[in-house]
C-alpha cells in the first residue's frame, strides 16, 4: 500500500510540475554581432556611421523660392527669411556654361541663431580660430533640378538686417571638410565685398552656397584654455557631436575627437566666458543629449585643460531642437 | 413393499435431518482459502463455502447410499474376483425353497420351508445397540472369504435382517435373507470356486454414535491456542443502496480540433504554432446508489489543458538600453538576430458533471458504469496564439478584448466513464475511472471564423468514502 501511495504521489507531482513551466522569450544575435555598445573611436567618420545620420536629422530645411532671371533687367528676390537677393541680367549659367534665363529655383536660408549653427553643424571657426559671426547664409540656385552657377564675372547681391551692425565683419566662405567637419575660409577675392548700412549688411559676391560674415575673436593678451569633455564609453566620435556655445556672443565651436584620450576637446578658448557644452548623440533609433553651463578656464589643470565629465540622457529629437532654439 | 422401497424409505428417514459435525480447523482452512485472491468473475461467487459443502455432502450421500444399496442387494462369496452382486429391486426373491440337499447346514436361519425359529425382526424404529437391528443403514468393513469347503458359513449382519450363506455340495451358494416380515432366499451359482483371497471394501459409516465418538476424541486432544474464525458471510446488497463521496484526480489527454473557412494559411500556421503538452483534472463528487443499483452522481470538476506555443522571427533588430543608477537611459545599442518565443498556454475550466449510472459488484470489487452531461460553469485561459498577421497575441482572460481570446463559458458537453472500486474497509474504497468528455461547442469566440475545440479522455484515481 505504501508503494502504491508513493507512486501515485510521484505521478501527481509530475503532472503538477509539468503545468508550471516557464515561458521563454529570447533573442539570439546573429553570428558576428556585437553584444554591447560600440565603444570604438574612429580615425575616419564615414557617412554610414550614426553621427552622419544624426547630423542629417538635425538639419534645418532651407526656404525654397524662385526668381526670374532676365536677359536685360535686374531681378530681386525677397525671401521670407528676411534676405533680399539681387540678380543682374544673364547672371546664371548651367554647369556646362550655357546662359540661363527664366525662372530658377532658389534655396536660401540665413543662420543667425547659435542653436541653428549647432543644428546645421556650422560652427564659427576658421582654421581652428574662433570667429564671431554676423550670420551664416546659404544660397543655391537650380533650374529643373540641375545646379545653376553664376556666370563668370557675375555677382549677386545679398542683403539682410542684423543688430548691431559690426563693421569689423569680414567675408568668409564655407568649406565642407571630410569627417563631417566644416571650416570658414576668409575671402581673398576683392571682387567680393561687404557693405554696411544701418542695420543692414550687404554682400556682393561671385560665390554661392555658404557665405558668412565674421570677425576673428581677438584673444591677444587673453588667457586661454582647452575645454575637454569626457563621456561614457558608449559615446564615441562615431555617434556623437559636441559643441561649445558661447552665451554672450555669436560663436559656436565644435569639440573635436581626441582619439588618444577618447574625449571631445576644443581649441584654445578665452577664459572666463560663459558657455554651454552641448553633446548630442544618436544610438540606435534614439537620441541623447547633455548640456552643461560652464565658464571657460575654470578648474583647469596645469596644462590649461578644463576637463568636464558629462552623461547624456535619452532625449527626443523634438526636445533637442526645442532647447537649441533657446540658444 | 419390496426390499428396494424399504431401502429408499430407510435412507430418507435416516438422512432427513442429517447434520454432520465439522472440526474447527476445517473452518480455519476455509477462511484462509477465502482470503486468497481469486478471480472476480461472477461465476466464482457460486462456489462459496456453503454451496461447496452442500455439493460435497450430496456427493457423499449418493455415493454412500449407492454403495450400501449395492452391498445389500448383491453381496457375493464365490464369485472369483467379483464383489457380491446386489440384486436390484426389480428382481423378486425366491421363496419357499422346499429342499435341502445333503450336506447343507443351516444355522440360525430357519429352513426355507417356513419354520422361522429364531427370527430376527427388522424394526426400522429401533436404533442399533438396543437389542434390535440398527435403524440406520450400515456398511461394514466386510471381508468375504470364498472357500471351496462347503462348510463355511458366513453371517452378515445387516439391519434388515440376517443373511445366511450356506454352501451346497455342488458348490452353489445359497443365500437366505431374513427380515422381520418375510424370508427369501436366492441362489447364485458358483461356477468355479476360487482359492481364498480378500477384497476389501471401504464404506463410510455415518452412524451418530460413531461420529460423536470421533468428535469427542478430537476435542479431547490439545490442539493449541487456535482461534476459531467467524463464519464467513455473504455481503448483502453489495452494490445497491449506497451513498458516498469521492475525491479524485488524474491525467488527461486532450484531442484538439481546429477549423477555418477555406483551409486558410492562418489555420495551418495556428496548427504548427501550438501543440498539446499535458492535461489533468481533479474534483470531488457525491453519489447516491439506489437499491436497484441505479446511481445518480454530481460534483465539481476542475480541468486544465496545457498547450505549448512556439514562435520565431528572424531579422529582428534588438535595441538594448543602458540605464544608469539614477534610472536615466544613458545609451543604447542595436543588435540584429532572431527571436524565439515559447509560451505555455493554459485552458482551465470549472464544470459541474451530472451523470446517471449503474453500480454492480460484490465483495472487494465494485463497478459503476455512468454517463451524463457536464455543464461548464466558467472557463479562463492564459497564454498567446498567432493572430491573422501571424504575430503573437495575448489570449489571457481579462487582459484585453481581442477576438482571438477564448470563451469564458463553453456550455454543455457529454461525459461517460467506468468507475472501478477496490474495497479497503467498510468505509473506504480506492477508485480508478477511465472517462471521456465530449464538448459540444468550440472554445474560440464566435466573431472569428477560426474554431478550436477540445475533447478529453483521462484516467481518474481517487478515494471513496461511504456515508451509508
The pLDDT score that the predictor gives to residue A9 is 63
B333: nearest CB among A26, A28, A284: A284
Point out the least confidently predicted range of A155-169, A233-247, B149-163. Answer: B149-163
Quote the pLDDT of residue B369: 96
* pLDDT tens, position by position, B305-348: 999 999 999 998 888 899 999 999 999 888 889 999 999 999 99
Measured between alpha carbons, how far is B258 from B453 in angstroms, rounded to an integer? Answer: 7
Q: Which of A7, A35, A234, A283 to substitute to test the interface with B, most B CBs within 10 Å?
A: A283
Alpha carbon of B445: minimum distance to chain A alpha carbons (Å) = 25
DSSP string covering B267-318: HHHHHHHEEEEEEEEEEEEEEEE-TTSEEEEEEEEEEEEEEEEEEEEEEEEE
The minimum CA-CA distance between A257 and chain B, rounded to whole Å, is 19
- pLDDT range class, residue B92, cuts 50, 70, 90: very low
What's the CA angle centered on A76, arms A70 and A79, to 5 degrees? Answer: 130
Do A235 and B331 lie within an 8 Å CB cutoff? yes
Sign of the Cα pseudo-torsion (B213, B217, B219, B223, in order): negative
Tell me the average pLDDT of chain A: 91
Q: Pick from A121-130, B99-108, B194-203 the range whose average pLDDT is largest.
A: A121-130
**Strand partners for A99:** A93
What local confidence, expressed as pLDDT, does residue B59 receive?
Answer: 66
Share of chain B above pLDDT 70, in %: 55
pLDDT tens for B205-261 read: 445 555 566 666 666 666 666 666 666 555 555 567 789 999 999 999 999 999 888
- Of B139, B140, B121, B141, the C-alpha closest to B130 is B121
Question: Between A22, A33, A285, which is nearest B337 by CB?
Answer: A33
| Helices B3-15, B49-73: inter-axial angle, 10-degree rounding | 150
Other Cβ atoms within 10 Å of B233 Cβ, number: 9
Which residue is closest to A38 within chain B, CA to CA? B333
Tens of pLDDT along B266-294? 899 999 999 999 999 999 999 999 988 89
User: Which of the residue ranges A34-38, A288-292, B66-70, B170-174 would you say has the lowest mean pLDDT?
Assistant: B170-174
Give the lowest-confidence range in B23-32, B62-71, B413-422, B456-465: B62-71
Q: What are the angstrom distances between the C-alpha of A234 and each of A238, B110, B292?
A: 10, 145, 85
Please indicate if any CB of chain B lies within 8 Å of the CB of A48.
Answer: no
Residues of B in contact with A234 (CB under 8 A): 322, 330-331, 333
- Weakest-pLDDT range from A249-253, B226-230, B395-399, B430-434: B226-230
B350-375 confidence digits (pLDDT tens): 999 999 999 988 788 989 999 999 99
Put simply, the answer to whether A37 touches B331 (Cβ < 8 Å) is yes
Q: How far apart are CA B124 and CA A128, in angstroms?
A: 155
pLDDT over 60 (residue B441): yes
Q: Which three cell numbers mark A289?
A: 543629449
C-alpha cell at B110: 430357519
B→A contacts (Cβ < 8 Å), by residue, are: 249, 251, 277-278, 280, 304, 306, 316, 318-322, 324, 328-344, 346, 461
Residue A30 has its nearest CB partner, among B278, B322, B337, at B337
Preferred mutation among A16, A19, A40 to probe B, highest tally of B CBs within 10 A: A19
Structure confidence at residue B66 (pLDDT): 62
| CA–CA dist B380, B443 (Å, integer) | 10
The beta-carbon neighbor of A21 closest among B280, B322, B344 is: B344
- Distance, CA of A187 to CA of A131 (rounded, Å): 14
Max CA separation in chain A (angstroms): 117
Is the Cβ of A274 closer than 8 Å to some Cβ of chain B? no
By C-alpha distance, which of B244, B271, B237 is closest to B256? Answer: B271
C-beta atoms of B306 and A12 within 8 A: no
**pLDDT of res. B23:** 72
State the residue for C-alpha cell 471564423: B449
Nearest to B331 among A15, A35, A288 (CB): A288
Beta bridge partners of B347: B305, B381
- Average pLDDT taken over every residue of chain B: 71
Task: Give the closest of A8, A18, A36 to B278, CB-based.
Answer: A18
CA distance B369 to chain A (A): 24
Hey, are the CB atoms on A314 and B319 less than 8 Å from each other?
Answer: no
Whole-number pLDDT of residue A75: 93
The pLDDT value given to residue B28: 74
Provide the pLDDT for residue B15: 80
> How far A24 CA sits from the closest chain B CA (Å)?
5
pLDDT at B11 over 50: yes
Q: Which of B278, B304, B328 sits opposite A313 (nearest CB)?
A: B328
A114 pLDDT band (50/70/90 cuts)?
Answer: very high
Alpha-carbon distance A308 to nearest alpha carbon in chain B (angstroms)? 17
What is the end-to-end Cα distance of chain A in Å, rounded? 86
Q: Which pLDDT value is given to residue B179?
A: 43
pLDDT at B195 over 80: no
Question: DSSP assignment, residue B85?
Answer: P
Mutation target for A interface from B323, B328, B333: give the one with most A CBs within 10 A: B333
Quick check: B165 and B175 in contact, CB under 8 A?
yes
Smallest Cα distance from B38 to chain A, Å: 19
Coil, strand or helix at B410: coil
Q: How many CA atoms lie within 13 A of A166 on its CB side?
A: 15
Of B46-50, B202-206, B463-467, highest mean pLDDT: B463-467
Q: What is the pLDDT of residue A154?
A: 93
CA dihedral over B108, B113, B115, B120, signed as positive or negative: positive
Cα dihedral B236, B241, B243, B248, rounded to 10, equals: 70
B461/A8 Cβ within 8 A:
yes
Q: Which residue has the higher pLDDT, A34 or A204?
A: A204
Q: Can you list the alpha helix ranges (DSSP code H) found in chain A?
A: 2-18, 50-58, 114-119, 317-324
Q: Does A37 touch chain B (CB under 8 A)?
A: yes
Mean pLDDT of the region A80-109: 92
Nearest CA-CA partner of B345 in B294, B289, B400, B392: B392
Interface A–B counts its CB contacts (< 8 A) at 108
- Residue A216 reports pLDDT greater than 90: yes
Report the gap between the CA of B265 and the closest CA in chain A (Å): 25
Using omega within 30 degrees of 0 as the cis cutoff, is the peptide bond preceding A164 cis?
yes
Interior CA angle at A242 toward A302 and A215, to 5°? 80
Question: CB–CB of B335 and A23 under 8 A?
Answer: no
* Of A236 and B53, more confident: A236
Chain A residues touching residue B336 (CB < 8 angstroms): 29-30, 33
Report the candidate in B372, B367, B374, B371 with the shortest Cα–Cα distance to residue B432.
B367
- Closest-CA distance of chain A to residue B305, Å: 9
pLDDT, one tens digit per residue, over A10-56 is 655 655 555 567 899 998 888 887 778 889 999 999 999 999 999 99
Alpha-helix residue ranges (DSSP H) falling in A41-149: 50-58, 114-119
- Residue B258's DSSP bridge partners are B452
Residue B444 and residue B393: Cα distance in Å, rounded? 14
State how far residue B202 is from chain A, nearest Cα, in angstroms: 51
Cβ(A169)–Cβ(A120) under 8 Å?
A: no
Give the one of B316, B332, B337 whose C-beta lies nearest to A284's C-beta.
B332
The model's pLDDT over A243-259, given as tens digits with 9 standing for 90+, comes to: 999 999 999 999 999 99
Tens digits of per-residue pLDDT, A121-152? 999 999 999 999 999 999 999 999 999 999 99
Mean pLDDT confidence for B48-56: 60
Report residue B144's pLDDT band, with 50, 70 and 90 as the boundaries: very low
What whole-number distance in Å separates Cα of residue A244 and Cα of residue A327?
Answer: 12
Question: pLDDT band for position B30 (50/70/90)?
Answer: confident
Taking 50 as the threshold, does the pLDDT of residue B105 lie above it? Answer: no
Q: Let me know: does A39 contact A257? Beta carbons within 8 Å.
A: no
Q: Note whether A11 contacts B: Cβ–Cβ < 8 A.
A: yes
d(CA A55, CA B437): 67
Would you call A286 and B332 a contact, using CB atoms and an 8 Å cutoff?
Answer: yes
B319: nearest CB among A235, A285, A311: A285
Residue B90 in this model has a pLDDT that exceeds 50? no
Q: Which residues of B touch A235 (CB under 8 A)?
A: 331
Three-state secondary structure call for residue B376: strand
CA dihedral A157, A162, A164, A165 (to 10 degrees): 0
Using the predicted structure, report yes or no on whether residue A69 has a pLDDT greater than 50: yes
Confidence (pLDDT) at A296: 95
β-sheet bridge partners, residue A286:
A283
Task: For B76-88, write each residue's pLDDT tens digit.
Answer: 443 333 333 333 3
Residue B450 reports pLDDT greater than 50: yes
The whole-angstrom separation of Cα A35 and Cα A29 is 8
- How far does B388 lie from chain A, in Å, by closest CA? 21
Three-class DSSP labels, B414-436? EEEEEEEEEECCCCEEEEEEEEE
Q: Which has more pLDDT, B136 or B17?
A: B17
pLDDT digits (tens, 9 = 90+) for A177-198: 877 789 999 999 999 999 998 8
Write down the ipTM of this complex: 0.77
Which residues between 202 and 261 in chain A have a beta carbon less than 8 angstroms from any beta carbon of chain B? 232, 234-235
Handedness of CA A120, A126, A128, A130 (dihedral sign): negative
Average pLDDT over residues B11-21: 77
Say if the Cβ atoms of B346 and A19 lie within 8 Å. Answer: yes
pLDDT of residue A123: 95
- Strands, E, within B172-293: which ranges? 173-179, 183-188, 242-259, 274-289
Instruction: Please state which of the ranges A19-28, A68-77, A199-208, B156-165 shows the lowest mean pLDDT.
Output: B156-165
Amino acid at each position: 500500500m505504501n508503494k502504491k501511495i508513493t507512486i501515485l504521489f510521484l505521478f501527481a507531482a509530475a503532472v503538477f510540475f509539468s503545468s508550471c513551466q516557464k515561458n521563454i522569450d529570447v533573442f539570439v544575435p546573429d553570428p558576428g554581432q556585437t553584444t554591447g555598445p560600440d565603444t570604438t573611436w574612429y580615425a575616419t567618420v564615414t557617412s554610414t556611421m550614426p553621427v552622419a545620420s544624426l547630423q542629417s536629422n538635425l538639419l534645418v530645411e532651407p526656404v525654397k523660392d524662385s526668381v526670374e532671371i532676365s536677359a536685360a533687367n535686374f531681378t530681386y528676390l525677397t525671401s521670407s527669411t528676411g534676405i533680399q537677393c539681387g540678380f543682374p541680367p544673364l547672371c546664371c549659367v548651367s554647369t556646362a556654361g550655357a546662359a540661363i534665363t527664366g525662372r530658377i529655383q532658389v534655396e536660401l536660408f540665413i543662420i543667425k541663431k547659435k542653436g541653428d549653427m549647432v543644428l546645421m553643424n556650422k560652427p564659427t571657426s576658421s582654421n581652428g580660430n574662433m570667429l564671431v559671426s554676423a550670420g551664416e547664409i546659404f544660397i543655391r540656385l537650380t533650374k529643373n533640378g540641375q545646379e545653376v552657377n553664376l556666370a563668370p564675372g557675375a555677382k549677386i547681391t545679398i542683403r539682410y538686417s542684423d543688430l548691431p551692425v559690426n563693421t569689423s565683419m569680414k567675408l568668409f566662405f564655407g568649406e565642407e571638410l571630410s569627417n563631417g567637419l566644416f571650416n570658414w575660409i576668409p575671402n581673398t577675392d576683392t571682387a567680393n565685398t561687404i557693405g554696411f548700412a544701418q542695420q543692414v549688411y550687404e554682400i556682393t559676391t561671385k560665390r554661392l552656397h555658404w557665405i558668412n560674415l565674421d570677425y576673428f575673436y581677438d584673444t591677444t593678451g587673453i588667457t586661454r584654455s582647452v575645454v575637454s569633455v569626457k563621456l561614457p564609453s558608449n559615446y564615441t566620435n562615431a555617434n556623437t557631436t559636441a559643441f561649445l556655445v558661447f552665451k554672450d556672443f555669436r560663436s559656436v565651436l565644435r569639440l573635436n575627437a581626441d582619439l588618444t584620450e577618447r574625449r571631445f576637446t576644443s581649441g584654445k578658448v578665452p577664459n572666463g566666458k560663459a558657455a554651454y557644452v552641448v553633446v548630442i548623440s544618436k544610438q540606435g533609433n534614439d537620441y541623447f543629449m547633455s548640456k552643461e553651463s560652464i565658464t571657460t578656464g575654470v578648474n583647469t589643470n596645469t596644462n590649461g585643460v578644463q576637463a568636464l565629465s558629462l552623461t547624456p540622457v535619452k532625449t527626443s529629437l523634438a526636445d533637442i531642437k526645442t532647447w537649441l532654439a533657446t540658444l | 413393499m419390496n426390499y428396494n422401497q424399504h431401502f429408499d424409505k430407510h435412507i430418507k428417514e435416516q438422512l432427513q435431518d442429517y447434520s454432520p459435525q465439522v472440526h474447527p480447523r476445517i473452518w480455519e482452512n476455509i477462511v484462509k482459502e477465502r482470503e486468497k485472491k481469486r478471480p472476480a468473475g461472477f461465476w466464482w461467487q457460486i462456489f462459496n463455502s456453503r454451496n461447496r459443502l452442500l455439493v460435497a455432502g450430496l456427493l457423499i450421500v449418493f455415493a454412500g447410499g449407492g454403495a450400501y444399496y449395492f452391498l445389500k442387494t448383491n453381496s457375493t462369496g464365490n464369485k472369483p474376483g467379483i464383489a457380491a452382486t446386489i440384486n436390484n429391486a426389480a428382481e423378486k426373491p425366491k421363496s419357499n425353497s422346499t429342499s435341502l440337499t445333503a450336506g447343507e447346514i443351516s444355522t440360525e436361519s430357519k429352513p426355507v420351508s417356513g419354520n422361522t425359529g429364531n427370527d430376527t425382526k427388522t424394526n426400522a424404529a429401533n436404533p442399533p445397540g438396543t437389542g434390535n437391528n440398527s435403524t440406520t443403514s450400515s456398511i461394514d468393513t466386510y471381508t468375504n472369504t470364498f472357500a471351496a469347503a462347503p462348510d463355511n458359513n458366513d453371517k452378515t449382519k445387516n439391519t434388515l435382517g440376517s443373511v445366511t450363506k450356506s454352501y451346497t455340495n455342488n458348490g452353489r451358494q445359497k443365500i437366505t435373507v431374513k427380515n422381520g416380515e418375510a424370508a427369501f432366499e436366492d441362489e447364485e451359482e458358483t461356477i468355479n470356486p476360487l482359492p481364498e483371497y480378500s477384497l476389501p471394501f471401504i464404506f463410510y459409516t455415518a452412524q451418530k454414535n460413531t461420529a460423536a465418538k470421533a468428535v469427542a476424541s478430537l476435542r479431547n486432544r490439545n490442539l493449541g491456542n487456535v482461534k476459531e474464525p467467524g463464519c464467513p458471510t455473504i455481503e448483502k446488497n453489495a452494490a445497491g443502496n449506497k451513498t458516498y463521496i469521492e475525491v479524485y484526480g488524474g491525467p488527461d489527454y486532450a484531442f484538439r480540433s481546429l477549423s477555418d473557412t477555406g483551409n486558410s494559411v492562418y489555420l495551418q500556421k495556428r496548427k504548427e504554432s501550438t501543440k498539446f503538452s499535458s492535461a489533468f483534472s481533479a474534483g470531488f463528487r457525491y453519489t447516491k446508489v439506489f437499491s436497484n443499483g441505479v446511481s445518480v452522481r454530481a460534483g465539481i470538476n476542475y480541468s486544465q489543458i496545457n498547450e505549448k506555443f512556439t514562435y520565431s522571427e528572424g531579422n529582428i533588430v534588438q535595441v538594448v538600453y543602458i540605464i544608469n543608477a539614477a534610472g536615466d537611459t544613458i545609451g543604447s545599442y542595436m543588435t540584429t538576430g532572431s527571436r524565439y518565443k515559447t509560451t505555455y498556454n493554459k485552458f482551465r475550466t470549472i464544470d459541474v458533471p451530472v451523470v446517471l449510472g449503474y453500480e454492480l459488484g460484490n465483495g472487494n470489487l465494485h463497478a459503476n458504469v455512468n454517463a451524463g452531461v457536464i455543464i461548464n460553469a466558467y472557463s479562463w485561459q492564459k497564454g498567446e496564439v498567432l493572430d491573422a498577421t501571424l504575430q503573437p497575441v495575448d489570449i489571457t482572460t481579462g487582459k484585453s478584448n481581442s477576438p482571438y481570446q477564448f470563451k469564458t463559458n463553453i456550455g454543455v458537453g457529454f461525459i461517460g466513464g467506468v468507475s472501478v472500486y477496490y474495497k479497503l474497509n467498510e468505509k473506504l474504497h480506492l477508485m480508478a475511472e477511465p472517462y471521456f468528455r465530449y464538448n459540444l461547442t468550440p472554445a474560440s469566440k464566435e466573431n472569428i471564423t477560426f474554431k478550436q475545440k477540445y475533447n478529453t479522455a483521462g484516467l481518474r484515481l481517487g478515494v471513496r468514502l461511504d456515508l451509508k
